[in-house]
Amino acid sequence: MTHLPPFDTPLDRAAESVPRIGGRHWGSITLKNGLTKCDISFVACGHIHEREGVATVADTPCLNAGFRSAYNVTLEGDDVSIADVEPLEW
């Protein structure tokens, strides 16, 4: 689990409407480099709220839980499955 998503992926671009940083990538370069050098099974993150979703980075499934979204993640050995679920009403 990490706070930031990997850099320069569909999971880390700030919304265009955000002043000064809109449209830019704000993920972790170190995490992205680590994914290319290490055998990591799964990454869960959430800092960039408006970019929730799943992306594969260097053969690793990465989940940005975002803001008020919900996912069911199953880890069995080297297999990872990620499915959207209906979030609870707040």
Q: Could you give the C-alpha distances from 24 to 7, 57, 64, 75, 88, in angstroms and in order?
A: 10, 18, 16, 32, 31
Q: How many CB atoms lie within 10 A of CB 58?
A: 15
Q: Contact 34/43 with Cβ under 8 angstroms?
A: no
pLDDT digits (tens, 9 = 90+) for 52-84: 999 999 999 999 988 878 899 999 988 999 998
pTM of the model: 0.86
pLDDT at residue 87 above 80?
no
CA-CA distance, 22 to 59, in Å (whole number)?
28
Higher pLDDT, 68 or 48: 48
